[in-house]
Chains A and B, each alone.
Chain A
Amino acid sequence: MKKVTIDPITRLEGHGKIDIFLNDGGDVANVYFQVPELRGFEQFCVGRLAEEMPIITNRICGVCPEAHHMASLKALDDLFEVEPPDAAKKIRELLYMAFYVTDHTTHFYALGGPDFIVGPDAPPSERNIFGVIKKVGLDIGKQVIETRAQNHHVIEMLGGRKVHPCAGLPGGWSKPVTEEERKEIEAIAKKNIEFSLFSLKTFDKIVLNNPDLLELITSDIYTHQTYYMGTVDDENHVNFYDGMVRVVDPEGKEFVKYHPKDYMEHIMENVESWTYLKVPYLKKIGWKGFIDGMDSGVYCATPLSRLNVSDSMATPLAQEHFEKFYETFGSKKKNGRYQPVHFRLSTHWARLIEMLYAAEHMLELASDPEITSPEIRNLPSGKAKGVGIGSVEAPRGTLTHHYVTDENAVIQKVNMIVGTTNNYAPISMSLKRAAEKLITKGKVIKDGLLNKIEIAFRLYDPCLSCATHHLPGTMPMVVKIINSGGDVLDTFTRD
């Protein structure tokens, strides 16, 4: 048996490596997407005061600390049995929309987008933000930087810090929004809408009008029929901050809709001996392995998943693009809602539709007179009830924080299912599919291997993806082909 190792593939959120095992015939037998690093957040939070969790857990990630801050706050609201005033909820959501715009901008222009905008076959030295700027123009590059800067300014205004917000409190928020700030945020939200529409137009022009790229998106390599998960509001619209978690089956039928507090009734985590990351699956279907289909408990929680579980979008412009998305891929309506799209590369488009929704909703919130209300905190009245569970939609998937405490709110146990974790099985499956197409009968198509595999996992926007387009565009990947005797037959690296 031969073994192909791609290591390392990451920098930001721990290390990752990919092992491709070939059978005796030289075909792909298994692909292991391993996360061999143990970070231990769930352990070292034990013994800390629960009220510190929004500050501690947002250090899990430098890309999505806002998501951890929000999920943690909602877990504390539950723990202390206190409902924040409407104005506080709106401030939280306003910050969260600014965060979504900046996060999705980062992915489209700097991380995942270069695969399309510059092209999947372009040399790695060009498939990066500089290649994107070269293709779309310097002015657009400036807009990308400006959009990120402005929205991080909003995050700082509302949350106290540009990267790791600190203004959240159980039962509300620490600082009201002034009228001056509201007007500034309103103006930024309007620019965000323009920028989101421009980004969708760019995707349309460069990707959808290119038959080769459209063929790649709809190709078998990047297609998986799994269950989908996402949070929806009362009208089954996509919602990032609050609502019920909805799961649909591969045919689009609602499988379950549950309150985030009940997640343990629906989600189980499978432990594999070859990785520290647990593999979640749908409890009622069961773990059948890394396989597609109605009988497999594998589910996916991504921007594409959120669109697939929703009946529609809550804002008008995003709704127009939502409809165009499903019509383009030939999805038919069944019981009033579109059938799921299974083309995983369409996640990039879904992400842009979400960005537009975030921008539109940001404007709605910034225009709401209540956003400047000084009523931003309800003080918890009693002691900690012992359990607090909170959930939001992080850009990379449903994020759940679950704390168990004593009566003094000292943490006894923590469980977190983060966005990327939800997609562990789908990512592994996509990697295997890509590898199968490139390694047959012992022949390894070296040139395509790294590109196709990068594209396969980057569409999920795992935190690991940050390393894959680090400046100046090289990716720290080494592929080793090792035979069953442990001898290295070949080694090649990205340069």
Chain B
Amino acid sequence: MNMPCSGCYGAPDGVLDQGAKMIAALGSILNLEGDLTEEEITGHTNKIIDSIPDYAGTFYKFSLAGSILKNSVRK
């Protein structure tokens, strides 16, 4: 339908928590190099997070009910 996939089939195989996985993916592109203060790291991180309105709703769009956050996945 020329519409981008937004994950309505849930988390891919092998992914326990889709939202956490997305946070990890974002962490890998933070590109924090050199000696940075904690404030600089927080500022840089917040800048990325602030660029995503409704990050919880977006990252857990179809998977919150089965996420760790919901405490419905127990091993």
Binding site for B on A (CB under 8 A): 47-49, 159-160, 166-167, 174-175, 408-410
Contact = CB atoms under 8 A, between A and B. Distances in A.
Contacts of A48: 54, 57
A49 B51 CA distance: 13
Contacts of B58: 49
B3 A167 contact: yes
Interface string B45-59: 000000001100110
- Shortest 4 CB-CB distances between A and B: which pairs? A160-B1, A174-B2, A410-B53, A175-B2
Contacts of A175: 1-2
Contact of B3 (A49, A174, A408, A410): A174
Given A48-B57, A174-B1, 6 more contacts: A47-B57, A48-B54, A49-B53, A160-B1, A167-B1, A175-B1
Mostly, the B contact residues are loop
Nearest to B61: A52
A426 to B, nearest CB: 37
Contact of A408 (B1, B53, B57): B53
A410 B1 CA distance: 25
A408 B58 CA distance: 14
A159 B2 CA distance: 11
B48 to A, nearest CB: 15
A167 B1 CA distance: 6
Contacts of A174: 1-3
B2 A47 contact: no
8 contacts: A47-B54, A49-B54, A160-B1, A167-B2, A167-B3, A174-B1, A175-B1, A175-B2
A159 B58 CA distance: 23
Contacts of A49: 53-54, 57-58
B45 to A, nearest CB: 19
Contacts of A408: 53
B50 to A, nearest CB: 10
A194 B15 CA distance: 52
B8 to A, nearest CB: 9
A408 B51 CA distance: 10
A174 B5 CA distance: 13
A48 B52 CA distance: 11
A166 B62 CA distance: 15
A179 B54 CA distance: 40
B3 A160 contact: yes
Nearest to B1: A160
A88 to B, nearest CB: 12
Interface string B32-54: 00000000000000000000011
A306 to B, nearest CB: 31
Contacts of A160: 1, 3
A133 B58 CA distance: 47
